[in-house]
């Protein structure tokens, strides 16, 4: 089972792309220990787009 839902990941990616918060600030906002997953989600979203 995935630790984070697809909906949560897309929400963070879109919030990052709005340009208001950095990876580390997003991680802090949502209580994540590390911002690395957000970086990976953004890169994957930009490369492959959102899953249907």
pLDDT tens digits, 1-49: 579 999 999 999 999 999 999 999 999 999 999 999 999 999 999 999 8
Does the residue 27 lie in any domain? yes
Q: Quick check: helix, strand or coil at residue 30?
A: coil
**What does the pLDDT read at residue 1?**
59
Q: How far apart are CA 27 and CA 5, in angstroms?
A: 15
Q: What does the CA dihedral 25, 31, 35, 37 come to, rounded to 10 degrees? A: -140
Query: How many separate domains does the chain show?
Result: 1
Distance between start and end Cα atoms, the chain: 19
The structure's pTM equals: 0.86
Does the residue 44 lie in any domain? yes
Does the residue 32 lie in any domain? yes
């Amino acid at each position: 089972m995935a630790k984070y839902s697809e909906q949560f990941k897309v929400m963070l990616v879109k919030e990052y792309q709005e340009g208001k918060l950095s990876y580390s600030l997003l991680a802090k906002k949502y209580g994540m220990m590390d911002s690395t997953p957000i970086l990976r989600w953004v890169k994957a979203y930009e490369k492959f787009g959102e899953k249907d």
